[in-house]
Copies of this chain bind each other. A is one copy, B any other.
Amino acid sequence: MSNSKNRDSLDFFFNPASVAIIGASKTPGKIGHELLRNLTQSGFGGKIFPVNPKAGKILGYICYKSIVDVPSPVDLGIVVVPADLVEGVTRDCVTKQVKGIIIITSGFSEVGNKELEERIVEIARGKLRIVGPNTFGIYYAGTKMNATFGPTKVLEGHTAFITQSGALGLALMDWTTEEKYGVSAIVSIGNKSDVDDADLIEYFSSDSLTRSILIYMEGLKGGRKFYEISKSATRKKPIVVIKAGRSKRGAQAASSHTGSIAGQDTVFSAAFEQAGIMRAEGMTQAFDWIQAINENPVPKGENLAIVTNGGGVGVLATDKCEALGLKLTDISTNLADDLKQIMPSFGSVKNPIDITANADDVLYAKVLDVLFRSEDVDSIIALFCQTANIDPVLFAQAIISLRNKENFKKPLTCAFIGGHLSQIAYSTMLEGQFAAYPTAERAVDSMYALTTRYRQLSRWKAEEV
């Protein structure tokens, strides 16, 4: 099976027994120093060997003059030497029988220096695999390996994030911590001289830590391979792609940025659709979708209910649902009766269900309890407007304890709209592993992602029969 073979063949990038940093530096601020520091401080359990011709010790580790001098086998080499030295280092790594190298160094095909990059690939062919060049490295939560020169702190989670943009990837590493979007892996894929998106999709589709795959892509080589592997991977795990270079000028910019040929955008869109890849418009949408997907089961149908304590947000959310093709269910007589028993007379038991601004957390939890139990409802969007009299954190806690007590398995996205207390409530929900957002629009858009996933799986199931 090519799948497990490929997985084995890339495992040394994520779970190496030993790592050499070729070009390690004593000078704080230099990439060769930051990377070594991150790796040694991240909790990674493998052996670490700094390599630098000036040798000595760096951060307490014995430093070797060359990779070939390292006294034990090396699975993974991380290359941070200047561009003109990379060729020689790659040869040394082949000699040392290193399994894979991450070439951090830039100055290759992305600035037009294609020949040098091709020579290095040629040296490595059949001997070792290459990630890069022109990358900021790899983070993998499973081995607590932070082999990047990015932030020290990364929030562990369930999304494998593959990025072709270095700066964007680094910024988002920080962002994941701030926004509590946990990641199973971050791979700065760089110039994709060898290991490409398809290889990584194949790897992560079999990785038990990874529930979803998120890709920032500018260009693509090997479209057929990408399509075939993605098509099979999306059956197992959702893949969300941000494909930049949609516009003419954007494509030109992508070309001068990473040397990518962005290609015809409509072709990408069609291929993504066919392969079951969900294409997000931008970073916020992509992360919102992933959040909803990671924290929820796939809906069992399309009957959606909205519950709100603010009529206005209920209306806005309903508008957005219709615009996105989400179906608010008609509340059945039975369900309406159940709701009427607990709701204030001036509320609305129509969908969106408006429990009004007077509702407290106890009432809110009761209504959610009814909706969770109802067979008429497949998924729920819960909206909270901060009111003068009730702390939104109480609402958050009510939902969390309801799920913990009853173990409800029904998709829920929610929004907390308001000021500081609402932000705390929203963070509380994220920490409680719910898909929570600061606006109703984003809660709806995330439900759209879940519904899309439901539709994909239903269609594929039907096709199998």
**A residues within 8 Å of B by Cβ?**
29, 34, 107, 111, 136, 149-151, 163-178, 216, 218, 242, 244-250, 252-254, 256-258, 281-284, 309-316, 318-323, 328, 346, 348, 350-352, 354, 356-357, 385-389, 417-423, 439-441
Contact B441 A283 (CB under 8 A): yes
Contact partner of A247 (CB less than 8 A), chosen from B136, B244, B309, B319, is B319
| A388 and B149 contact, Cβ closer than 8 Å, known pairs A246-B319, A249-B351, A316-B242 | yes
Contact A249 B322 (CB under 8 A): yes
Closest to A357 in B: B167
A316 contacts across to B, CB distance below 8 A: 168, 242, 244, 250, 282-283
A218 contacts across to B, CB distance below 8 A: 312, 315
Contact A439 B322 (CB under 8 A): no
Contact B171 A418 (CB under 8 A): yes
| A175 and B418 contact, Cβ closer than 8 Å, known pairs A249-B328, A311-B258 | yes
A151 contacts across to B, CB distance below 8 A: 388, 419
Contact partner of A385 (CB less than 8 A), chosen from B107, B168, B352, B386, is B168
Contact A312 B257 (CB under 8 A): yes
A165 contacts across to B, CB distance below 8 A: 310-313, 315
- This chain: copies in complex: 2
| A167 and B250 contact, Cβ closer than 8 Å, known pairs A29-B389, A319-B245 | no
26 contacts between A and B (CB under 8 A): A149-B388, A165-B311, A165-B312, A166-B357, A167-B309, A167-B312, A168-B312, A168-B313, A168-B316, A168-B417, A170-B388, A171-B310, A171-B387, A171-B419, A175-B422, A176-B419, A177-B420, A178-B418, A178-B420, A216-B312, A245-B319, A247-B321, A249-B328, A250-B315, A253-B311, A258-B311
Contact A315 B245 (CB under 8 A): yes
A357 contacts across to B, CB distance below 8 A: 166-167, 170
Closest to A310 in B: B167
Q: Which 4 A-B pairs have the closest CB atoms?
A: A165-B312, A174-B419, A167-B310, A257-B311
A417 contacts across to B, CB distance below 8 A: 168, 171-172, 175, 283
Closest to A255 in B: B315
Closest to A163 in B: B312
Contact B249 A318 (CB under 8 A): yes
A107 contacts across to B, CB distance below 8 A: 346
Contact B283 A171 (CB under 8 A): no
Contact B244 A312 (CB under 8 A): yes
| A385 and B258 contact, Cβ closer than 8 Å, known pairs A253-B315, A352-B253, A439-B284 | no
Report Cα–Cα, A29/B249, bound state, in Å.
Answer: 57
Contact A419 B328 (CB under 8 A): no
Closest to A106 in B: B346
Q: Which of A164, A386, A421 has the most CB of B within 10 A?
A: A386
A257 contacts across to B, CB distance below 8 A: 311-312, 314-315, 348, 354
